[in-house]
Amino acid sequence: MSVCKNIEQLRAQISEWRSNKETIAFVPTMGNLHAGHLSLVELAQQKAVHVVVSIYVNPLQFSPDEDFSSYPRTLEEDLKKLEAIGTDLVFVPDTSMIYPRGETKSSFVEVPVLSHIIEGEFRPGFFRGVSTVVLKLFNMVQPDYAVFGEKDFQQLLIIKQMVNDLNLPIEIVAAAIKREADGLAMSSRNNYLNPSDREKSCLLSQALMACRRQIEQGISIEQAEKSCVDALQNHGFLVDYVTLRETMGLEKVSKSDINANNELIILAAAKIGNTRLIDNMKFVIIDKT
Ligand code: PAF
C-alpha cells in the first residue's frame, strides 16, 4: 500500500494506472476508520482494479462551534486497517495542499436547495464544505467510481447532484449503513459517547423503526414524526429533526405519495449528552390495492 502526502506522488501513481487502462475507485474519509468505512473500501474493491482512500479532516465543513480540533485523528491505526484489507493507495493531504490560499479565500462549490434543507438548516455551510472538498479530491484522484455511505444520506444525494450538474465522469456508488449489534449506526463520533449515553444511543434507530411501523400502519405523517420526537425526548435526547421524505430529492411527502410505491426515508438528528447523532431508515410501502 502506498501512502501519498502530496498531489505529485498521487498523480504519478494515478497516471501509471491510467496508462495501463486500470480503473480506480475512491473512498473519501476523515479518518478514525471503523467497520463502516472498511465496508465502503470493500465495496470499492468490487468496482475497480485499484482503490484510493483519502484521509483528511476538512476544516471547511466544521462551523466554529463544532469539533474540528477535537475530531479523532488516528492515522497510524487507520493505515494499518487499510493495509490489512488490501487498499492500494492512501492519500493524506494537509490543509496547505487542499486550501493553499486558506479555506475561506478559496473558490467553493455549493449544490443549491438540497444543501440548505434538513441537516443544512442546522449546520449552515456544512454541505458547501463537503461538496467543495469532495470536488477538489475528485479532481486530484480522478476516479471512475466513488463510494459514499447511506448513513449520510443527504450528503450522498448532494454529491450525486454535483456530479450530474458538473458533468463529472464519475459513478457514485451508495453503501448501506453499517450498524452495531444494538442498531446504532456506525460513526466516528460514536467515540464521544460516555457509557450511559452509548447505552441510550441505540434508541435512535429503534425510534426510527417505530416511526416506520406507524407510517406503514397508516398513522398520519405528522403524528408519526411527533411520536418519534416525543419518544426520543423522553429518553433525554435533544432532537433537531425527525422527518419523512422521498429518497430522490428529499421532498416532503403527503399521504397520497406514501401509497404510490415511492421509496421513503425517515431522517433524524438528535443529541444525547454532548454527542450529536444522525441516522435514517429507507423503506417502501407496497400498495396492495
Ligand atoms: O463523510 C465524510 O466523512 C466527509 O463528509 C467527507 C465525504 C470525507 C468529506 O470530508
What are the structural domains, with CATH classification, of the chain? 2-175 (3.40.50.620), 188-280 (3.30.1300.10)
pLDDT, position 69 = 96
pLDDT, position 244 = 97
Residue 289 in this model has a pLDDT that exceeds 70: no
Residue 288 in this model has a pLDDT that exceeds 80: no
Residue 285 in this model has a pLDDT that exceeds 90: no
What ligand 1 atom has the least distance to the C-alpha of 28? Answer: 8
Query: Per-residue confidence at 11, pLDDT binned at 50, 70, 90?
Result: very high
pLDDT, position 277 = 98
pTM of the prediction? 0.97
State if residue 186 touches ligand 1 by the CB under 6 angstroms criterion.
no
Residue 210 burial (C-beta neighbours within 10 Å; 0-12, 13-18, 19+):
middle
Rg for the chain, CA atoms, rounded: 20
Q: Which of 133, 136, 186 to mutate to test the pocket of ligand 1 (most atoms within 8 A of CB)?
A: 133
Cell numbers describing residue 19: 496508462
For a pLDDT cut of 70, what percent of the chain falls above it?
98
State if residue 28 touches ligand 1 by the CB under 6 angstroms criterion.
yes
State if residue 219 touches ligand 1 by the CB under 6 angstroms criterion.
no
Q: Is 37 labeled as catalytic in the residue annotation?
A: yes
What ligand 1 atom has the least distance to the C-alpha of 56? Answer: 10
216 vs 211: CA distance, rounded Å: 9
pLDDT, position 254 = 87
Tell me phi and psi for residue 278, to 5 degrees. -125, 155
pLDDT, position 113 = 98
Q: What is the pLDDT of residues 159-203, one digit of tens each?
A: 999 999 999 999 999 999 999 999 999 999 999 999 999 999 999
pLDDT, position 123 = 98
Pick from 170, 131, 160, 173: nearest CA to 39: 173
State if residue 172 touches ligand 1 by the CB under 6 angstroms criterion.
no
For a pLDDT cut of 90, what percent of the chain falls above it?
95
* Rounded (to 5) percent helix, strand, coil in the chain: 45, 20, 35
Residues 135-160, mean pLDDT to the nearest whole number: 98
Residue 273 in this model has a pLDDT that exceeds 80: yes
Residue 261 in this model has a pLDDT that exceeds 80: no
Of all protein residues, the one whose alpha carbon is nearest to atom 2 of ligand 1 is 29
Tell me phi and psi for residue 275, to 5 degrees. -105, 125
State if residue 60 touches ligand 1 by the CB under 6 angstroms criterion.
no
Place of cell 467515540: 191
